[in-house]
Amino acid sequence: MSNHSMIFINQVYQLVALILLSMPQISQHGRRPRAGQDIVQKLAEQGYQLEPAALEIICRYPGSKEELLERIIRSADRSVAVIGPSMISCHLESNASRMTPSAMPLASSPSLPIRPSIPSTIPPSTPSPISSSAPSAIQSSPLPSHAHRSFSPPDLQSPSPGTPAKPAGPVVSSPCSQDSSAVLKCDITGRSTCVGEYNDFVHYFRDRYSKIREILSRRLNSRPIESLSKSTTGREVSLIGMVMDVRTTSKGNRVIELEDPTGMITAVIQKESEVYEQSSLIITDEVIGVTGTSDGNGRLFVKSLLWPDMPNQTAPLENGSGSALLLSDLHVGSRYFMADAWQRFLQWINGEADDASGLSSQVRYIVIAGDLVDGVGIYPGQDKDLEIMDIYDQYKAAAQWLNGIRKDIQVIIAPGNHDIVRQAEPQPALPEEVQSYFRKDMLFVGNPAQVTLSGISVLIYHGRSIDDLVLRLPGISYAAPEKAMIEMLRRRHLAPIYGSRIAIAPEHEDHYVISRPPAILHCGHVHTVGIARYKGVAVINSGTWQSQTDFQKKMNIQPVPAVVPIVDLATMKIRKLIFTQS
């Protein structure tokens, strides 16, 4: 048995003792501590630890505990080391929801003679091509359910009289209503603590480090940097650190400055090393694991590199229902906004166009990942590109277009860098004055935001960090934005580079860390469509509704407008709908 296994087993038995000592309320109800010990031991054999509160929930479960444990083990994300009460409650709630009547299916819509074209294939630039005419399934995993705020279409869930578009406090939604509503799990709206002081930066980077270190620690037995004294000379050690700097020496070696809360060290990757080529992917401010030989004098000669990455497979807790359309970058107010294409889209979604496939009647959600309007003063000379000069009038026009969508579809709107929110990310939801222009059932979220659609987890991020990744990583381009999004998943962070093109507010919590794998990562910003599959996650960049501007021509940016990815939430199959003039 390896030393790592012995250490893990010792930790498990210590944890068992602590859990059982913290459970007097269970024994008071006549339950034997032995039962709790058996539960902890069974999960430990599968590589999981259990929080005391989670153990109490299992012990109080009136049904078959064996069956409950099997469900927990079968659905648990392999990157999770400690199972908390929320993961247990999710299974109990999903049982309850299965015993309640499901929402009524959407009725099919009538057909008229306009139809979007559906291409036979996705462009070969995507790493995992997905056929549009016969799409392949993407196996994905929803996040566990901890509802924060929910909004439901009136036709599917009747709100109480006088319900505002955005309540002052969170509205808790039961999983039973998730089949008929989009649920906001987390965003920055109303939670910003940043004032720009020194301590804000300290809290921000410590939070980033601790969250990603926790992910890496499940696969790497590391030690603090301060422990690398003379006694470690010639020994192989592993560290987890944040990258402060990356440079190449005159001899061609790559030098990485790593830092953790205890100190700094210089990691050297020699040009003949097996990981030298791989090291070209290292970027500043990300958290990585390294293993190598210590010289006992503040240097480590690296033999292997480890990124936090996604688990190899994420199994869904349950399938969703209906379909979701993923949109972004409408840029209403620009003279390049494609109003004719949007009108064709409205006719299709409202059942006023020929739809032999019946896809339009299956749509239950539309998710917009930022840049709803073109804004004002975003770039030099923008006024020459504007059709609507006042930003509030731009939003009123956008509301007219969106309010035309049939009312049984839930619309979720996140902001982008052209919207009327702070430029520094993370960004809160659009102001309430702007929200008042739209239908009351629309859900406004921040950027980034985590939502669930029929229980399927969707991570929404406008995607401005793609600019930084295109500049810093080899092989990443605007033509294939899905590759940049995959790099976000590998690093478990939506914006790993700090202080470059994207301005990030130093909140006390890093809202960009991808703590749990989503089923779908949805971005926009770059005006090109990209679809891929990465370790169970559907990676989708949803293009634009703006034709090529003069600025884009100068930058040689070729947009892909009026192309809409549609995701079947039951099978996770993806198609592309094209609404440009044929």
Q: Which amino acid is at 48?
A: Y
Provide the pairing of β-strand 323-327 with 563-568: antiparallel
Cα dihedral 59, 65, 66, 72 sign: negative
Rounded Cα gap, residues 25 and 225, in angstroms? 42
List, in order of start, the domains of the chain with CATH numbers. Answer: 3-98 (no CATH), 149-157+182-193+313-578 (3.60.21.50)
User: Within a 10 A sphere around the Cβ of 559, how many other Cβ atoms?
Assistant: 21
How far is 226 from 234, CA to CA, in rounded Å? Answer: 16
Q: Look at residue 61 in the predicted model and tell me its pLDDT.
A: 85
**Buried b vs exposed e over 319-351: b needs ≥16 C-beta within 10 Å?**
ebbbbbbbbbbbbbbbebbbeebbebbbbbbbb
How many Å apart are CA 345 and CA 347, to the nearest integer?
5
Per-residue pLDDT of the chain (582 residues; tens, 9 = 90+): 444 434 344 444 444 444 443 443 333 333 345 677 788 877 776 767 777 778 888 888 888 888 888 778 766 654 456 677 766 766 665 455 443 333 333 333 333 334 444 443 333 333 333 333 333 333 333 333 333 343 333 332 333 333 333 333 333 333 333 355 889 999 999 999 888 899 999 999 999 999 999 999 999 999 999 988 888 888 999 999 999 999 999 999 999 999 999 999 999 999 999 999 999 999 999 999 999 999 988 899 999 999 999 998 755 545 788 999 999 999 999 999 999 999 999 999 999 988 888 999 999 999 999 999 999 999 888 999 999 999 999 999 999 999 999 999 999 999 999 999 999 999 999 999 999 999 999 999 999 999 999 989 999 999 999 999 999 999 999 999 999 999 999 999 999 999 888 999 999 999 999 999 999 999 999 999 999 999 999 999 999 999 998 878 887 888 999 999 999 999 999 999 999 975
The encoded tokens of residue 332 equal 């209403």
pTM of the predicted model, to two decimals? 0.71
* Beta carbons of 67 and 92 less than 8 angstroms apart: no
Residue 500 burial class via C-beta count within 10 angstroms: exposed 0-12, middle 13-18, buried 19 and up: middle
What is the amino acid identity at position 114?
I
> What are the structure tokens assigned to 164, written together?
């505002």
Q: Work out the number of other CB atoms within 10 angstroms of the CB of residue 9.
A: 13
Residue-level pLDDT at 93: 52
Tokens of 475: 């092989």
CA distance 239 to 213: 10
Q: What is the pLDDT of residue 573?
A: 93
Where do runs of H (alpha helix) occur along 22-75? Answer: 24-28, 33-45, 52-60, 65-75
Give the DSSP H/E element, type plus range, for residue 523.
Answer: strand 520-523
What number of other Cβ atoms are within 10 A of residue 17's Cβ? 12
CA distance 472 to 57: 47
